[in-house]
Amino acid sequence: MPRARNDKPHLELRRGKWCIVWWEEGKRKRLSTGTEDEKSARQALADFEGELEKAPLKMTFADCLKRYVDSRRGKVSALKRLEEAVIPLHESLGHLRVDQINQREWDRYAATRFKKKGGKVTADLVSPGTLRREFNVLRASLRRAWKDEFLVRPPEIEPPRDSAPRDQFLTKDEAKRLLDACETPHVRTFMAIAIYTGARKGSILALTWDRVHWQTGLIDFQEPGRALTGKRRAIVPMTKALRKEMEEAFKLSNGDYVVHWHGKPIPNGLRWSFNKACERAGLTWRPTPHHLKHSVASWFAMDKVPIDQAADWLATDPDTLRRVYRKFDPSYLRSIADDFSL
């Protein structure tokens, strides 16, 4: 069986001195480092690889994306989401060099970025939110290439417009029906925590019993050792109804996680179970788990909960609550309307 060929630049000792050996267009190349010292030779190899990689024809956008994803490993909590955003960029733009990514190529990409369903491309364009997320990945990866000196400067590309904030939310009656429609304990526990705390799906699924403090009545959604990100996690008190739900869940627990399936955590969400519960609840629209957080924030606004308190409860920036949810306060601007006349 033939020995596998090492195409990557590597060191070989030749006549007492170290040489850099690599393959290019099917031909074996060799370059002497001029030194017998292995440490110095390895430094020369690192310099050689750096210069080779920076050659314009070597750095494709596909390589740029891969380098960016690799640089974020261990630094972002939602790495899978980042990898998902990279896939369509890689498929459509990966063949280009990094210096060829410009406004025209992005506009072409945005105009042909259709949704997929069942593995097939549909006639519907992706949502503005999805396109914005992919644009942020494209921009960040090119900036990473620029910082690593693979680009003279990052291209100036106009970002897509932000999508309008979502207005649809569950009423309290719909939330109660949704909770009552849960047939399995782990789905009901998830739904109860989401409805009564407004916590994000990821923080609920990662919650363990050692962070449910019965004596103080607090739930700590902060994971020990988890790096702090823009998506903060709160410490919130249990309402009377939620405490009752938690006590029932604790009786049935057989593991460390509050929401579990036969003692094991549920890392990938509850999409199928959540959708089935929505159907049984007779909802006229299809919410997502994030709509539960959005609904709690809307209820707080309608109940005139002070923004600072709501921000601490929901682990959300006060400016976001003020910008998105203040409109749900029925008395907001009412005094102006009552006094305004001609």
- pLDDT band at residue 202, thresholds of 50, 70 and 90? confident
Q: What is the pLDDT of residues 147-188, one digit of tens each?
A: 888 887 889 999 988 765 567 899 999 999 999 999 899 999
Greater confidence (54 vs 284) lies with 284
Fold of 172-328: hpI Integrase; Chain A (1.10.443)
Task: Say how far apart CA 78 and CA 231 lie, in whole Å.
Answer: 10
Q: What is the pLDDT of residues 312-321, one digit of tens each?
A: 999 888 888 8
Q: Which of 2-16, 39-53, 245-259, 260-274 has the lowest mean pLDDT?
A: 2-16
- pLDDT band at residue 328, thresholds of 50, 70 and 90? confident
Q: Where exactly are the structural domains of the chain?
A: 10-53, 61-147, 172-328
pLDDT at 64 over 90: yes
Residue 166 amino acid letter = R
CA dihedral over 251, 277, 232, 133, signed as positive or negative: positive
- pLDDT band at residue 225, thresholds of 50, 70 and 90? low
Task: Say how far apart CA 327 and CA 323 lie, in whole Å.
Answer: 8
DSSP 238-289: PPHHHHHHHHHHHHH--SSBSSEETTEE-TT--HHHHHHHHHHTT-SS---H
pLDDT of the residue at 1:
44
Average pLDDT over residues 18-30: 83
Q: Which of 1-10, 120-129, 188-197 has the lowest mean pLDDT?
A: 1-10
Residue 212 amino acid letter = V
Question: Which pair of tokens denotes residue 100?
Answer: 């060829």
The answer to whether the predicted template modeling score (pTM) of the entire model surpasses 0.85 is no
pLDDT at 5 over 60: no
Fold of 61-147: DNA polymerase; domain 1 (1.10.150)
Greater confidence (216 vs 338) lies with 216
Q: What is the pLDDT of residues 228-286, one digit of tens each?
A: 555 667 889 999 999 999 999 999 988 899 999 888 888 776 888 999 999 999 998 88
CB 101 within 8 A of CB 137: no
